[in-house]
Structure 1
Amino acid sequence: MNATAVLLAPRRRARPARGLRTAVRPLARSLTYTRLLHLLIVNALPALLIFVAGGFAPAMAATALCLLVAGAVPGMRVVEGVQARLLFPRGEGAGHVGERPSAGWGERLRLMVWLEVRLVLGSGVTMLCVWLPTLAEISWGGEVPPVLRFLPQARDWWAWLSPLPLLALYGAVLGAGALMARLAVPLLGPSPAERLAALEARTEELLERTRLARELHDSIGHALTVAVLQAGAARAAGDAAFTQRALGAIEETGRAALEDLERVLGVLREPGSTARGRPGLDRAERLFASARAAGAEVTVRVDGALDALPGPVSREAYRMTQEALTNALRHAGPVPVEVVFTVDTRTLTLDFTNPLPPDARPFPGGGTGLRGLRERAAVLGGSATAGARDGRWRLRVRLPLEALRETGR
């Protein structure tokens, strides 16, 4: 760059130091004065007790005792929580501070510590608010302390120290307010055990929503697959009687899917009704009828008693059967499907076998449906394997029964 370009280039305006702007920014924030008021208002009780107790020290001791008694009242935690939440910047989470009354002596003791710390800091800030401005005024007036009067010309430089008490007061107010906000979460918020319980409840809720999403995938996917196959077959057949049967099958499958949808929506509205109305393996015949109506030749063999299965196993096995039939119809079409249910004292085994069309190229890892099957089986401590061999697709699911019977599920 030549000299002319340097001369013609616009000059950048000097900006104030960023550190100075950061230091004075709290003066324009209402949060600073809210925290100061929170610290000062605690001195109302000692101010009244001074006239009764006859001195500052007895009044402070009586106030500390009164706060200990107040901390034992369960509702006091809610009162302090309302004030403590005002100490946080707008939009910043307060960690559920003081949302409910004290539930035990652990929370009461934490509340007592909070009240005593607030009394100590509030009293200290109050005294600083009185004495530091007074010291600044004295310094500005030029009254040199007696211990410094022997210094020559002390009166000339002592006035320049008058801003220091005000800066010290500014720092003390900001520090005390920030400390109270920092202590609010551990002293008024939930305990570690409560936070862990809330996290576990949230995890259970997310798992339940994931399970509901899988159920919707299985139910709606099965209904749409059957409807598409029935509609295509009816159009290709051109037979009025066949078309009527196809429409009836579509109607029945759609009605079942709507029932599942209504049940899932009911669970979302009422989280406590998670298992109510969920079909079990004893109602799997309607799945077979739906697949037969779509053109598949479904043969079923049952070895053992299905009605003796634990509820979770029976319900999950129903959804796995639905997904297996849907995959067979979707990827292989209306082909013969062999279904074998084997129940013994320890294990429920589901076997699904169907031929593959010549142009089928199954993926080794499976798609979303097979991944969901494996996840369902893993939740119950079982396993699911699938693969093609000699032109046939086989899906096997093994679910343990003994542990679930022992836990009473």
Structure 2
Amino acid sequence: MSRFPRLSARVVRGVRFLRPLTHAVTYTRWLHLLIAATVVLASGAIYGITDATAADWALIMVLPVPLVVAAAMVPAMRRAEGLQARLMLFPGSHARVDADGAADDPGVSVAPSASWRDRGRTALWLVLRLEAGWLTGVATTQLIGYALALLGTASEPSEDDGLVLPRPGLGAWDAALVPLPLLALLALVVASGALMAAAARNLLGPSPTERLAALEERTEQLLERNRIARELHDSIGHALTVAVVQAGAARAAADREFTDRALEAIEETGRDALEDLERVLRVLREDGRPARQRPTLADAARLLDSARASGATVDAEVTGAVERLPGPVSREGYRMLQEALTNVLRHAGPVPVRVRVAARDSRLVIDVRNALPPASEAAGRGGSGLRGIRERAVLLGGQARVGPCDGEWRVRAELPLR
């Protein structure tokens, strides 16, 4: 009974060995190597390929090296080799990929050479590809020729068949050995292709400068996504909070006049939120149409009116020339004030709120205070909105403090103006 697990293990190993033969990339790698062999053949044709000895072939293999090294000095050569390597040495749309339909990043740059180090790596790659391609081409010719020679056992072997390996001389039984050179050829193709792919990652991979640029670009994308997420959270969150508070107050009041005012406030706040949403979506779509300008602290009055319409008693004082604040400071300050008021309405309801906005010579101060809500609600005041206030302040070189202070809930942000 123990023989069956052993047999199964051997079958599994055999299937794993044959699996690369079902991948299209195995054969594109083979073609990639054979293309390089044509350069050596062209050099042989110029040198005189007829009656060439082993020493002549060794010389022919070296002749194209100065030419490919000179070609590597052209910056665009690295880009061309990178594109060709990505296409032929790694899985892609032309080959089989993973079960989920995704292929790994090949790690091969397609940027032109930006330094002499890049040119040197490109030169090493071209020389390696040249010599490896020629050796693979010779091995391919020899192994296929040997397999054909084993099939032709009925005839006498030719003296000048060019084969390095002699035939066994078993007569008709030589044909039974035909699979051996073919299997050796397939193993060579798989191994050489994998080695060339690894060499491409090392020699054509991104330089430190390119890696740093890619990292910076990725960081910018993440920061932009984070900014858009905060924009949507602040704008839509404020609108929904006002709508919920207004609807609840209108239902509790059961007064038609109050209900009309509440619906009007909900409509105005919802319209502003839709405009903000449309602006963000235009940025994401990049459709070329001008996006609506983001609100600034010069528009703070509408935030205060919205909070008052929700039933809160707002004692506001705005000092300084807020309309002349730097754009980033004014826009982020508006969002901080919006989130602070939204936080009051969400957790404390329509309570008295004291708002102070002061634009001084060197900094902007935003201070929002309200009575502390019940302990159960105050314990939950640690969401992404308050964290977003701190993040906005830090990104602008300032600071923000949020939490209980002298028996009140306080949000205080200080932003430098330079």
Same fold (TM over 0.5): yes
Moved more, 49-58 or 197-206: 49-58
Structure 1, unaligned runs of 5 or more: 1-5, 143-160
3-state SS in 2 of match to 1:141: coil
2:313 alignment counterpart: 297
Amino acid at match of 1:38: H
Amino acid at match of 2:293: G
Q: Report the CA distance shift for 1:108/1:272 in structure 2 as closer, same or farther (over 3 A).
A: farther
1:32 aligns with 2:26: yes
Aligned 1:329-344 pairs, distance under 5 A:
329-344=345-360
Aligned 1:221-260 pairs, distance under 5 A:
221-260=237-276
Match of 2:168 among 133, 140, 144: 140
Structure 2, unaligned runs of 5 or more: 49-55, 98-102, 147-162, 171-176
Cα distance, 1:338 vs. partner? Answer: 0.4
1:93 aligns with 2:94: no
Match of 2:217 among 198, 201, 208: 201
* Preserved contact between residue 136 and residue 166 of structure 1 (Cα < 8 Å): no
1:15 alignment counterpart: 8
Match of 1:114 among 115, 125, 139: 125
Match of 2:322 among 290, 301, 306: 306
Same amino acid, percent of matched pairs: 55
1:47 aligns with 2:41: yes
Q: Report the CA distance shift for 1:28/1:362 in structure 2 as closer, same or farther (over 3 A).
A: closer
Amino acid at match of 1:14: L
1:127 aligns with 2:138: yes
Q: Report the CA distance shift for 1:75/1:386 in structure 2 as closer, same or farther (over 3 A).
A: closer
Q: Report the CA distance shift for 1:69/1:31 in structure 2 as closer, same or farther (over 3 A).
A: same
3-state SS in 1 of match to 2:378: coil
Q: Report the CA distance shift for 1:344/1:43 in structure 2 as closer, same or farther (over 3 A).
A: same
Name the CA distance, whole Å, in 2 between partners of 1:271 and 1:348. 35
3-state SS in 2 of match to 1:14: helix
2:401 alignment counterpart: 385
Cα distance, 1:274 vs. partner? Answer: 11
Moved more, 309-318 or 203-212: 309-318
Cα distance, 1:72 vs. partner? Answer: 3.9
1:261 alignment counterpart: 277
Q: Report the CA distance shift for 1:71/1:344 in structure 2 as closer, same or farther (over 3 A).
A: same
Amino acid at match of 2:240: L
Q: Report the CA distance shift for 1:200/1:163 in structure 2 as closer, same or farther (over 3 A).
A: same
Q: Report the CA distance shift for 1:258/1:361 in structure 2 as closer, same or farther (over 3 A).
A: closer
Cα distance, 1:355 vs. partner? Answer: 1.8
Cα distance, 1:101 vs. partner? Answer: 4.7
User: Structure 1 length as normaliser, TM-score?
Assistant: 0.79
Cα distance, 1:255 vs. partner? Answer: 1.3
Name the CA distance, whole Å, in 1 between partners of 2:350 and 2:214. 48
3-state SS in 1 of match to 2:312: coil
Q: Report the CA distance shift for 1:162/1:12 in structure 2 as closer, same or farther (over 3 A).
A: closer
Deviations 1:350-405 (A, max 9, x none): 2111123567641286233222222222222332223335653222222233xxx2
Amino acid at match of 1:220: I
Moved more, 243-252 or 105-114: 105-114
1:356 alignment counterpart: 372
* Preserved contact between residue 280 and residue 315 of structure 1 (Cα < 8 Å): yes
2:157 alignment counterpart: none
Cα distance, 1:260 vs. partner? Answer: 0.9
* Preserved contact between residue 139 and residue 162 of structure 1 (Cα < 8 Å): no
Amino acid at match of 2:40: P
Deviations 1:163-206 (A, max 9, x none): 99887766544332222111222333432211221122112111
Moved more, 194-203 or 320-329: 194-203
3-state SS in 2 of match to 1:52: helix
3-state SS in 2 of match to 1:335: coil
2:64 alignment counterpart: 63
Cα distance, 1:342 vs. partner? Answer: 2.9
* Preserved contact between residue 80 and residue 110 of structure 2 (Cα < 8 Å): no
Cα RMSD (Å): 3.6
* Preserved contact between residue 307 and residue 341 of structure 2 (Cα < 8 Å): yes
Amino acid at match of 2:238: H
Name the CA distance, whole Å, in 2 between partners of 1:233 and 1:26. 69
* Preserved contact between residue 226 and residue 250 of structure 1 (Cα < 8 Å): yes
Match of 1:278 among 282, 294, 310: 294
Q: Report the CA distance shift for 1:53/1:245 in structure 2 as closer, same or farther (over 3 A).
A: same
* Preserved contact between residue 262 and residue 309 of structure 2 (Cα < 8 Å): yes
Q: Report the CA distance shift for 1:223/1:16 in structure 2 as closer, same or farther (over 3 A).
A: closer
1:149 alignment counterpart: none
Q: Report the CA distance shift for 1:29/1:243 in structure 2 as closer, same or farther (over 3 A).
A: closer
Name the CA distance, whole Å, in 1 between partners of 2:289 and 2:356. 31
